[in-house]
């Protein structure tokens, strides 16, 4: 059986993958803008925001890499930055959970439980 830290890192990465796919769809022109950025861009994202979605994908991918490194699942060479990076990620998802809970966009609130699961999973990795 895997240890809790490994399981938490895999759960974090799976949920992060879902968000990356969503961001990729926004970048590709899916009309889901109401479910992101407080619903400020309903429908398809404008070109500038599509670039932001791509940047979000890169950042989220890096976060998953840091979590996997800290949990000693993959990327052992990143361990020197993952000890600090994991706490940055925990704080990010504290804020993300709050923001997705209070967003004026009702549809965007679907991301609050996702962010909360990412928060709990990253916190487990951080304290393990």
Helix axes 47-70, 4-28, angle to 10 degrees: 170
**Of 71 and 2, more confident:** 71
Contacts of 1 (CB under 8 A, 6+ apart): none
Dump pLDDT digits (tens) for 27-50.
999 999 999 999 999 999 999 999
The answer, yes or no, to whether residue 1 has pLDDT greater than 70, is no
pLDDT at 43: 95
Contacts of 3 (CB under 8 A, 6+ apart): 128
pLDDT at 108: 95
Angle CA 85–65–54, to nearest 5: 100
The answer, yes or no, to whether residue 83 has pLDDT greater than 50, is yes
Dump pLDDT digits (tens) for 89-104.
999 999 999 999 999 9
Q: Mean of the pLDDT values across residues 10-17?
A: 98
Mean pLDDT of the chain: 95
pLDDT at 39: 92
The answer, yes or no, to whether residue 2 has pLDDT greater than 80, is no
Radius of gyration in angstroms for the set of CA atoms belonging to the chain, rounded to a whole number? 15
Distance of CA 120 to the CA centre of its chain: 12
The answer, yes or no, to whether residue 127 has pLDDT greater than 80, is yes
Per the CB < 8 A criterion, the answer to whether 85 and 100 are in contact is no
HSE toward the beta carbon, residue 5, CA cutoff 13 A: 13
> Which residue range forms the structural domain that includes residue 27?
4-127
Q: How many domains does the chain have?
A: 1
Q: Mean of the pLDDT values across residues 68-84?
A: 91
């Amino acid at each position: 059986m895997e240890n809790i830290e490994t399981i938490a890192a895999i759960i974090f990465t799976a949920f992060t993958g879902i968000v990356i796919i969503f961001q990729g769809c926004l970048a590709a022109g899916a009309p889901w803008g109401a479910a992101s950025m407080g619903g400020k861009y309903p429908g398809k994202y404008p070109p500038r925001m599509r670039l932001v979605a791509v940047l979000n994908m890169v950042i989220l991918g890096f976060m998953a890499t840091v979590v996997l490194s800290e949990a000693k699942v993959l990327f052992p060479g990143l361990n020197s930055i993952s000890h600090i990076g994991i706490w940055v990620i925990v704080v990010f998802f504290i804020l993300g959970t709050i923001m997705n809970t209070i967003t004026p966009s009702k549809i965007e609130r679907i991301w609050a439980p996702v962010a909360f699961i990412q928060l709990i999973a990253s916190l487990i990795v951080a304290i393990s």
